[in-house]
Structure 1
Amino acid sequence: MGNPSFFQRAKRFLLGAPRDLFDPKIFHKISLIAFFAWIGLGADGISSSCYGPEEAYLALGGHTVLAIFVAIATVFTIFIISGSYAQIIEVFPSGAGGYNVASKLLGEKAGVVSGSALVIDYVLTITISVAAGADAVFSFLPLSWGPYKFWFIAFMIMTLIWLNLRGVKESVTVLTPIFMAFMLSHIPLVLYAVGHHAAELPTVASAVSTDLSGAVREMGWLGVGAILVRAYTMGAGTYTGIEAISNSMPTLREPRVQTGKKAMLYMAVSLSFIAGGIILGYVLNDVRPTEGKTLNAVLFGKLLVGLWGSGTGEVVVAFVLAAEAALLFVAAQTGFLGGPQVLSNMAIDSFMPHRFAHLSERLVAKYGIYFMGGMAYLMLYITGGSVKYLVIMYSINVFITFSLSQFGMCVHWWKDRHEAQGWKFGLGMNGVGFLLTASILCLTVWIKFPEGGWVTLLITGSFIVASFVIRRHYRKAQGHLRRLDELLLQLPSVTVPAAQEPALRRDAPTAILMVSGYNGLGMHVFFSIVRSFPGTFRNFVFLSAGVIDSSTFKGADEVENLGRDLSRQLQNYVEFVKGHGYYAEARCEVGTEVIEIIDHLAEGAAADFPNAVFFAGQLVFKEEGFFNRLLHNHTAFLAQKKLVFAGLPMIVMPIRVL
């Protein structure tokens, strides 16, 4: 109360001022247009061109000319998966793509598997992107600086956490110049890598035919097919991130469906052009592995040094590779945008702690951001920041989500084939998408499992188990709370007519109750006060905070509706208490921080009723461990700590329901 504390001033300086929930243009100010969605959400997919094509090319061994077939398959796959997710955007414009699709079309168990896989994939996106970017940065620095790379990665993760706590649009806007530097440097290079060898295409075609014939004689068609399939599968990292736009639809500007589909088209065209062009560039320029360098570095070095000489060419190469490194940091942003959104949707369904659905003053899912950052640090600790190990763990999870989403959409089109227009096209698109993604998933698990892929599956499996344990706990707690709600059906009848309402005496003893709406818990606290302090209080004031979370934040109108609904609920308390001979009134506010709202309401109530005692109910458990503290808020104790420090008496009434 009073002047803001040092902590509050520091928070305002670092994270920015609170958003105005009632601003009718609030969504316009914080949402992303298609261009910024392409940057913030598409950077993950586009950055995979820094390592995905290389993995596919190297998997061919000595038959590198066959990479042309891999390039064609890569471009085809990108457009199929992107087109499939464009269908998902139309059917599920609310976002959380993989989780919502699997939950609604295949059942909640499939949804939890898809959502859990997606969350871990986003965690790995953050870690591998920052680690790969750090590798690129430190490749230009002296070897003696190597020991500091781990701490550099940790610093970059912390920086991204800070940017995202400030807000989605702010974080994307800051990273826009990096994204554009990458695109403006790589597009001309890809064009040059392919274009200046256009006259040699007949020779290349002849070489492909010769190499293919030789490979068939050596290994047979089955062996050649196995090599191509392995190369195609090893380049699966190229497709990760395509789903990010579908998963993060709530961050897009209205009309969301059109914005999402436009951003998806931007990403599909740019990713297919760069990834496919780089693979062709490897073939046409006869790129060979060089120790200590990525294949992109070798390719761009050949092109630029040959074009401008060793001096200027090497400087430009350094700039291009620096742009690659910087884009990988931008790609980590996708994990901080998509991961909290999936966690929020799972929290709304009680598969994750409910606090993951809460929004901060800046209207971001702050607990989801903390979780993603913390898990990224855990992965960093497990792998030591090794990109080689992270690549092995990567890409498995996203194809679990891909496969479930595509199969779910196939089920959707088939069930609605009599009502949905264009169902045959949708079924065909998602059917091909399912066959591709499921095949890649099976082959990726088979190839990468013994090399460390089992770690990813173990972590994901543990996350799935934890989700069901959390859901079971919440259901058990809700069952006990429903017994309290039955109290509302057994309330004693009113004894005082409305015409004889008690007069207001502000100096009379007053009980100020903090409630979360009209429910059995609030009524139980009222009866506990009357029973514990018989004849003491003549006034009862009910305070309530309407908390905006990701499920209720749909615009200024929805915020106002929440406030009106909360006022109507509190009026039930007022009418009941007045009907039993007490004076009563209710006050409420809507916001994102429940403690700050209660603090503000309490300040006003204490000024109006100087002889007041504050009360709140708190669920108590037989064994109060970390698990219970994580899943249930302790608003009553936090409010008590703040009010008592301000000199206001407060009593917490225990509610034993478990």
Structure 2
Amino acid sequence: MYSTLKRLLIGKPLKSQQLGEQKISKTKALALLSSDALSSVAYGTEQILIVLVAISSAALWYSLPIAIGVLILLTALILSYRQIIFAYPHGGGAYVVSRENLGVNPGLIAGGSLLVDYILTVAVSVSAGTDAITSAVPFLHTHHILIAVLLVVVIMILNLRGLTESASILAYPVYLFVVALLILIAVGGYKMITGQVVQVNHSTIGTPITGLSLFLLLKAFSSGCAALTGVEAISNAIPAFKEPSSKNAANTLVLMGVLLGILFTGITVLAFGFGLVPKPEETVVSQIASETFGRSYLYYFIQGTTALILVLAANTGFSAFPQLAFNLAKDKYMPRMFTVRGDRLGYSNGIIFLGIASILLIILFGGETEHLIPLYAVGVFIPFTLSQTGMCLKWFRQKPKNWVLKMSINATGAVISAVVLMILFITKFKLVWSVLVFMPIVIWIFYMIKRHYNAVGEQLRMTEENLQPIEGNIVIVPIAGVTNVVERSIQYAKTLSDQVIAVHVSFDKETEKKIEKKWAELDNGVRLVMLRSSYRSLTSPLEKFLETVEAKATKYHYSVMVLVPQFIPKKSWHNILHNQSAFLLRLRLLWKKDIVVATLPYHFKK
């Protein structure tokens, strides 16, 4: 049943040799890895206007210079990350760059920030898409958490099917969104130029605004920088591209930057030209579409594709998180399960972990994740700043051809990113202070994992201290009674050692005498030890006995093995009819030092 359902949802397993077939083209990669960045167009401009309109509708003209500032930052980031792609063709992005050039701690801060940010990406994007759906169909609003969870599950399953399949499916809505907005910008721009728009709240460029401070302008700018989230995803997933992977990834990054710049600029200019102000009940994109097309089918087409892209923005997280988790796990800062490829050759454990974490976040915040957006932005600009600074040091140390130009590009990106990061902390400290708490916790977890793997490696290393001689073996066979299963276990134990001891834990004298009598009748040459348990505990008396045996065995370099007989019912549901004492005993003994625990199964035929 499980296997059938798994094959149905995920597909047939792929051979390891088919890994090359799972590489994606630039066209598919653009849709798969740019959905987060492109979707931010739906709310980037609106975030700027929300801050400005709180001062005065006349201040809305400042959205234009602020948008120019965002575009300058976008250009610097695209050029900087393009250099990172060529310098680090194996992926890893900000984590690898920061670790190699700035040190382990900056690398872990960059990696941890991005891991958390990808979880936020999924939670925020899916919740925003769910809000768009429930706004269109109001009676679904009471089920918005369930809808969000189901959407995460659907996207997770698509990604578990492999990069090629998920990219093929998810490419259509992403490109539909791009086409829809390009049509909106073209038609809206034409109407604005030809004077077909009634400008109710239009403000004149250059109008002086009373009460407008640098602090508020910086706050509006930092809010608009939410449009840049997801820009780094391509640099993390270079190995997913077809060869030449670096060149294809770099070209995809530039194309994403161009599209993002055009769409963000177009929406910002139209919002200003139409004289729009943010409304609680309607998004800015919806207002532009309504003013341009009315409530026609084109309006609903734009709204539909916008809702889709907001949901599918989560896919950037599902594409980049597993690769970043792989890089951290490879360096022993995350569990090794994140380095394992699944049936469809993707890093399935990373995909599943991300899905579960984002679902928990959605449930924890009741689907109302808008307060996470500032954290979302901080989680991006920390690695932005660290990676660009790291690249500056790289060029300065290595001094390759044109290193001054390369360092200047990265230095520009580093300075602007650092400024934006400071602005975010200053203007939105009440919303982002928690990053100062959970990031040290994340780094501490990384070091705990690393310490564990180092300790394991030290103990597994072949040294004289670790290689202790074993001159014999004592086999202990716990028995519940004298049965065919027990007799077979004893016979098997005798093939392993000539020192076999059967142990029975007795709860009453009557049962004890019966077992001693039956055991004497067997006459198999194996000693039976009876342990009395006054408190009806099976494991405690046995553990004390094993401690005694182990102390003597260690003295003579003998190992101690506990061979647990266990019968296996023909049908799985029969297990609930038995007390599972063998399983519980085995589970308890696994934590005992220097005790070998083995199971001898006996399968029933009826």
TM-score (norm 2): 0.75
Q: Which amino acid aligns with 1:247?
A: N
Alpha-carbon distance in 1 for matches of 2:409, 2:194: 36
Equivalent runs, 1:164-563 vs 2, <5 Å: 164-198=159-193, 212=206, 214-215=208-209, 218=210, 224-305=213-294, 313-417=295-399, 420-450=400-430, 452-484=431-463, 533=497
Q: 1:486 to 1:277 in 2, by over 3 A?
A: farther
Match of 1:160, SS state, is: helix
What is the CA–CA distance in structure 2 between the aligned matches of 1:487 and 1:382, rounded to whole Å? 47
The alignment status of 1:121 with 2:117, answered yes or no, reads yes
Structure 2 gap ranges (5+): 471-492, 500-588
Contact map agreement 2:92 2:235 (CA 8 A) in 1: yes
Question: In structure 2, how many angstroms separate the alpha carbons of the residues matched to 1:97 and 1:390?
Answer: 23
- Report the secondary structure of 1:197's partner residue: helix
Deviation for aligned residue 1:170: 1.1
CA drift at 1:225: 3.7
d(CA) in 2 for partners of 1:347 and 1:159?
A: 26
Offset from partner CA, 1:71-112 (integer Å, 9 cap, x none): 211222111111110000000011110111111111111111
Q: Relative to structure 1, is the Cα distance of residues 361 and 240 closer, same or farther in structure 2, using a 3 angstrom cutoff? A: same
Residue 130 of structure 1: aligned partner = 126
- Inter-partner Cα distance in structure 2 for 1:412 and 1:170: 38
* Contact 1:27/1:253, CA 8 A, preserved across alignment: no
CA gap of 1:196–1:28, structure 2 versus 1, over 3 A, is: farther
Shift of 1:378: 1.9
C-alpha displacement of 1:330? 1.6
> Does structure 1 residue 160 correspond to structure 2 residue 147?
no
Aligned counterpart, 2:69:
73
What's the CA shift string for 1:337-382, capped at 9, x where partnerless?
1111111111111111111111112111111112111110121122
What is the CA–CA distance in structure 2 between the aligned matches of 1:623 and 1:30, rounded to whole Å? 45
2: distance between equivalents of 1:52 and 1:258?
29
Larger radius of gyration: 2
Counterpart contact for 1:101–1:409, Cα < 8 Å: yes
Of 37, 54, 62, the match for 1:45: 37
Matches within 5 A, 1:1-12: 6-12=1-7
**Is this contact kept in 1: 2:85–2:91, CA < 8 A?**
yes
Partner of 1:568: none
Query: For residue 169 of structure 2, what is the amino acid of its counterpart?
Result: V
Structure 2 vs 1, CA of residues 39 and 124 (structure 1 numbering), >3 Å: closer, same or farther? Answer: same
Residues 197/9 of structure 1: CA separation in 2 closer, same or farther (3 Å cut): closer
Query: 2: distance between equivalents of 1:74 and 1:246?
Result: 20
Give the CA deviation at 1:534.
Answer: 8.1
Equivalent AA in structure 1 for residue 408 of structure 2: G
1:33 corresponds to = 25
CA contact (8 A) 2:78 2:254 kept: yes
- Tell me: CA distance 1:157–1:484, structure 2 relative to 1, closer, same or farther (3 Å): farther
Letter aligned with residue 27 of structure 2: F
Q: Is the 8 A contact 1:383 1:390 kept in 2?
A: no
Contact residue 96 and residue 248 of structure 1 kept, 8 A: yes
What per-residue deviation string (whole Å, max 9, x for no partner) do you get for residues 531-574 of structure 1?
A: 96489xxxxxxxxxxxxxxxxxxxxxxxxxxxxxxxxxxxxxxx
State the secondary structure of the residue aligned to 1:253: coil
Contact map agreement 2:23 2:241 (CA 8 A) in 1: yes
**Partners of 1:241 and 1:283 in 2: CA distance:** 26
Structure 1 distance, partners of 2:602, 2:30, is: 48
Q: Does 1:141 align with 2:137?
A: yes
Cα contact 1:96–1:345 (8 A) shared by 2: yes
So what's the TM-score if we normalise by structure 1? 0.69
- Count of aligned positions: 484
Secondary structure of the corresponding residue to residue 214 of structure 1? coil
Partner AA of 1:214 in structure 2: P
Tell me which amino acid in the other structure corresponds to 2:85.
I
State the one-letter code of the partner of 2:318: F
Task: Provide closer, same or farther for how the CA distance between residues 314 and 644 of structure 1 changes in structure 2, counting only shifts above 3 A.
Answer: farther
Quick one: which amino acid aligns to residue 412 of structure 2?
V
Superposition pairs for residues 631-646 of structure 1, below 5 Å? 644=601
Q: Would you say the 8 A contact 2:84–2:93 is kept in 1?
A: yes
AA aligned to 1:54 is: E
Cα 1:192–1:226, aligned 2, differ >3 Å: closer, same or farther?
farther
Alpha-carbon distance in 2 for matches of 1:193, 1:173: 31
- Partners of 2:167 and 2:108 lie apart in 1 by 29
**101 and 621 in structure 1: CA distance in 2 versus 1, 3 angstrom threshold:** farther
- What CA distance in whole angstroms lies between the structure 2 residues aligned with 1:396 and 1:156? 25
Query: Residue 226 and residue 34 in structure 1: after superposition, are their counterparts in 2 closer, same or farther (change >3 A)?
Result: same
The separation in 2 between residues aligned to 1:405 and 1:175, in whole angstroms, is 29
| Cα deviation, residue 486, structure 1 | 7.1
| Aligned-partner Cα distance in 2 for 1:622–1:82 | 55
Give per-residue Cα distances to partners, 1:246-301, cap 9 Å, x unaligned: 01111111101111011101100000000111111111111123341011111111
Preserved CA contact (<8 Å) 2:374 2:424: no
Q: Secondary structure at the match of 1:39?
A: helix
Separation (CA, whole Å) in 1 of partners of 2:411 and 2:461: 44
Secondary structure at the residue paired with 2:281? coil
Secondary structure at the aligned position of 2:344 is classed as coil
Tell me, in whole angstroms, the C-alpha distance in 2 between the residues paired with 1:621 and 1:399: 45
Q: What amino acid sits opposite 2:419 in the alignment?
A: S
Does structure 1 retain, via aligned residues, the 8 Å contact 2:191–2:292?
Answer: no
CA distance in 2 between partners of 1:50 and 1:472 (Å): 44
- Contact conserved, 1:129 with 1:329, CA < 8 A, in 2? yes
Structure 2: how far apart are the matches of 1:534 and 1:195?
A: 95
Q: C-alpha offsets along residues 205-256 of structure 1, whole Å, 9 cap, x if unaligned?
A: xx97x653523xx45xxx5543332211111210000000001111111101
Counterpart-to-counterpart distance in 2, 1:468 and 1:621: 24
What SS is found at the alignment partner of 2:47?
A: helix
Checking the alignment, whether the CA contact within 8 Å between 1:339 and 1:368 is kept in structure 2 is yes
Q: Is the 8 A contact 2:79 2:409 kept in 1?
A: yes
Q: What is the distance in 2 between the residues matched to 1:405 and 1:299?
A: 37
Q: Deviations over 1:596-637 (max 9, x none)?
A: xxxxxxxxxxxxxxxxxxxxxxx965699xxxxxxxxxxx99
**TM-aligned CA deviation for residue 16 of structure 1:** 1.1
Q: Secondary structure at the match of 2:250?
A: helix
